[in-house]
Chains A and B, each alone.
Chain A
Amino acid sequence: MHPAFSVIFLTVLLGFGQGTFLALATAEIYAYFDLLPMPPQSYFNAAGAFVALAFLTGGLFASFFHLGRPERAWRTATKWRTSWLSREVIALPAFMGAVFLYLLVHFFEWNPVIIERIGAPPVTLSLVIVAIGTVLAFVLFVCTAMIYASLKFLQEWHTPLTVINYILIGGASGFLFTAVLASIVQPDLTYFFGGLSALLLVLATGTRIASLIRNLRLRPKSTLQTAIGVHHRQIAQKTQGAMGGSFNTREFFHGKSPLFLKSARWGFLVTAFLVPFALTIVAIAIERPEPLFLAVAIQAAGLLVERWFFFAEANHPQNIYYQSIA
């Protein structure tokens, strides 16, 4: 497939936004069970929610560049019964709404107790929003990933690993970003988030490599024989019906050399996974946040390459019909 920058930015930024919110939610749940030495302060949660909302807005903004007719985008919410894209269009504003409420609650420090419990800490409004927002964050992850995983012809995407990777990669990037934010706003939480981001990064590395190995071993279901229904071992395309390009030759080919693809694969494995992990461990070991800043910058660049590769790697069966110009 031809990787579109709008969709690369959309999915990476949404991952950052969801991951950041999930990091705030994790800290709040830890604090509820009194597992943190110092609970996250309202100004930290407000800052985190603001950044998460900024990421999500950025992603939403990027998505409009993918549409030929953005003024009709409101129509996309109508076919949620069948289309994962439509479901994503509903899940994204719903999740953004939850993050916005969370921002309001902590910005105005208006956090009333919703449920009083005997022998347990009270459940506050913030915790209720965390619960709803967490569900919506996962719903959004599943919707975004299923847009790709549901296309059975794109065998590279048609696997549960696609959904798992979107969740783990988005989570890892958000937690790492939250660690950097904490180092500025509330430093005592820095290594809590840093440690969790390293853990998520290890898991994400495992599942991403698993999907890479799976995809290298894939055998395409469609062949030139099934594509034109001629059962002969030797078939060569002589013309594709047009000398100039067409939508079919632009939309479904990445147009890069195999070497470029290979270097992108190793490039993102190093920059999005290995280097941020090493830097995070270093930051925790020396208890200084500076390596985290470097880690988040390198990982952001690496994730753009990762998403580029995710699209470029997928080989659409229609490409069988476009192997030779003339």
Chain B
Amino acid sequence: MTQLALVIDLNVCVGCHACVTSCKEWNTSGLSGPLSDFNAYGKDPTGTFFNRVQTFEVGVYPNTETVHFPKSCLHCEEPPCVPVCPTGASYKRAEDGIVLVDYDKCIGCKYCSWACPYGARELDENQKVMKKCTLCVDRIYDMNLPERERRPACVLSCPASARLFGDIHDPESEVSRAIREQGGFELMPEWGTKPANHYLPRRKMRLHLHEDELVRADNPLKKEEYMPKPDINEPTLDDVMPW
């Protein structure tokens, strides 16, 4: 069984919101569009978004870390939003595990949004139906696109490559390997929803520099101190030789 999902590396995300805007751009003009905005340039702008980047500060100043946290539908393997839907508009695709809403069946009762602990579903105030991330289902299977573009818009746009996309049920896929080898985790595991999307944790990055990495020893003999060590400001062999 295939379960397509995103793996988001919190250690890499810089919080640029490129995934947010590219998601909105693709989806407002695609299958699930329009993602209606109201007062877009007014006092209280609001609108439908599938993806948002939030920012959290961890620790106490001055020892703080800023965590940028992209949040969208997690395409749970046990989606709590699907069984509560009274019309069957919410469903999970058997073939690739994407959780979708049939906009022609949805009655806009909002019950699924109550049943989602992540707040991943939004009512489109214009169409009055529930909308959520589709994992760009209208894009990833589009044979008119070159193969490298058959990925969700947010993944393609991420300038830091913080977002990976693939099948988490295939143990050899890039996403499975990332989850396995880099400590991928689920959000709110306490509810047993088994989110398909995973996040990779923050990691401590420390650079260890040794003195001999800073001071160049051209001549091994000099290093072994058969000859006097050159001053750090003296030209090196590379500077004086015309090779």
Give A contacts to B, CB under 8 Å. 1, 66-70, 72-73, 75-79, 82-86, 89, 147, 150-154, 221-222, 224, 226-230, 232, 234-248, 251-252, 316-319, 321-322
Task: Tell whether A221 pairs with B191 under 8 Å between CB atoms, given A229-B199, A321-B119.
Answer: yes
Q: Is the CB of A69 within 8 A of B88?
A: no
Q: Is the CB of A245 within 8 A of B187?
A: no
Task: Tell whether A242 pairs with B49 under 8 Å between CB atoms, given A153-B80, A321-B119.
Answer: yes
Query: Chain B nearest CB: distance from A10 CB in Å?
Result: 12
Query: From residue 62 to 81 of chain B, which have CB atoms closer than 8 A to chain A?
Result: 66-67, 69, 71, 80
User: Complex formed: what's the CA distance from A261 to B53 in Å?
Assistant: 32
Task: Tell whether A1 pairs with B114 under 8 Å between CB atoms, given A85-B109, A153-B191, A230-B202.
Answer: yes
Q: Is the CB of A234 within 8 A of B87?
A: no
Query: Chain B nearest CB: distance from A71 CB in Å?
Result: 9
Centre residue among B20, B108, B129 by max chain A CB count within 10 A: B108
- Choose one: A68, A79, A243, A317; the contact of B86 (CB below 8 Å): A79
Q: Is the CB of B88 within 8 A of A153?
A: no
Residue of A nearest to B105 (CB): A75
Q: Is the CB of A232 within 8 A of B58?
A: yes
Query: Chain A nearest CB: distance from B217 CB in Å?
Result: 43
- Choose one: A67, A241, A243; the contact of B107 (CB below 8 Å): A67
Centre residue among B56, B80, B188, B191 by max chain A CB count within 10 A: B56
Closest 10 CB pairs of A and B: A68-B108, A318-B119, A68-B128, A241-B52, A82-B83, A86-B86, A76-B86, A247-B122, A75-B87, A244-B45
User: Complex formed: what's the CA distance from A247 to B202 in Å?
Assistant: 29
Q: Is the CB of B191 within 8 A of A235?
A: no
Query: Chain B nearest CB: distance from A238 CB in Å?
Result: 4
- Choose one: B45, B86, B111, B190; the contact of A226 (CB below 8 Å): B190
Q: Does B118 contact A (CB under 8 A)?
A: yes
List the B side residues contacting A150 at CB < 8 Å: 84
List the B side residues contacting A78 at CB < 8 Å: 86-88
List the B side residues contacting A151 at CB < 8 Å: 80, 84, 114-115
User: Complex formed: what's the CA distance from A316 to B114 in Å?
Assistant: 8
Residue of A nearest to B125 (CB): A247
Q: Does B150 contact A (CB under 8 A)?
A: no
* Contact pattern, B 112-130, Cβ under 8 Å of A = 1, otherwise 0: 0111111101110101110
List the B side residues contacting A68 at CB < 8 Å: 106-110, 123, 127-129
Query: From residue 148 to 190 of chain B, which have CB atoms closer than 8 A to chain A?
Result: 185-190
List the A side residues contacting B53 at CB < 8 Å: 241
Q: Does B85 contact A (CB under 8 A)?
A: yes
Q: Does B55 contact A (CB under 8 A)?
A: yes
Q: Is the CB of B84 within 8 A of A85?
A: yes
List the A side residues contacting B20 at CB < 8 Å: 241
Residue of A nearest to B118 (CB): A318
List the B side residues contacting A224 at CB < 8 Å: 56
List the B side residues contacting A85 at CB < 8 Å: 84, 86, 109, 111
List the B side residues contacting A236 at CB < 8 Å: 56-57
Q: Does B219 contact A (CB under 8 A)?
A: no
Q: Is the CB of A76 within 8 A of B109?
A: yes
25 residue pairs of the A-B complex, CB under 8 angstroms, read A66-B109, A67-B107, A69-B107, A75-B88, A75-B89, A76-B86, A86-B87, A153-B117, A227-B187, A227-B188, A229-B186, A232-B59, A237-B56, A238-B56, A241-B20, A241-B49, A242-B49, A246-B46, A246-B122, A247-B125, A251-B110, A316-B114, A316-B117, A319-B119, A321-B71
List the A side residues contacting B144 at CB < 8 Å: none
Q: Does B44 contact A (CB under 8 A)?
A: yes
Give B contacts to A, CB under 8 Å. 10, 17, 20, 39, 44-49, 52-60, 66-67, 69, 71, 80, 82-89, 105-111, 113-119, 121-123, 125, 127-129, 185-191, 199, 201-202
Residue of B nearest to A86 (CB): B86
- Choose one: B45, B57, B118, B201; the contact of A243 (CB below 8 Å): B45
List the A side residues contacting B107 at CB < 8 Å: 67-70, 72-73, 75-76
Q: Is the CB of B83 within 8 A of A67?
A: no
Q: Is the CB of B122 within 8 A of A153?
A: no
List the A side residues contacting B54 at CB < 8 Å: 237, 239-241, 321
User: Complex formed: what's the CA distance from A85 to B89 in Å?
Assistant: 13
User: Complex formed: what's the CA distance from A191 to B123 in Å?
Assistant: 49
Q: Is the CB of B86 within 8 A of A83?
A: yes
Residue of A nearest to B51 (CB): A241
List the A side residues contacting B80 at CB < 8 Å: 151-153
User: Complex formed: what's the CA distance from A67 to B106 in Å?
Assistant: 10
Task: Tell whether A234 pairs with B59 under 8 Å between CB atoms, given A72-B87, A226-B190, A243-B45.
Answer: yes
- Choose one: B67, B115, B116; the contact of A230 (CB below 8 Å): B67
List the B side residues contacting A235 at CB < 8 Å: 56-58
List the A side residues contacting B188 at CB < 8 Å: 222, 226-227, 317
List the B side residues contacting A232 at CB < 8 Å: 58-59
User: Complex formed: what's the CA distance from A98 to B178 in Å?
Assistant: 59
List the A side residues contacting B189 at CB < 8 Å: 226
Centre residue among B48, B111, B188 by max chain A CB count within 10 A: B188
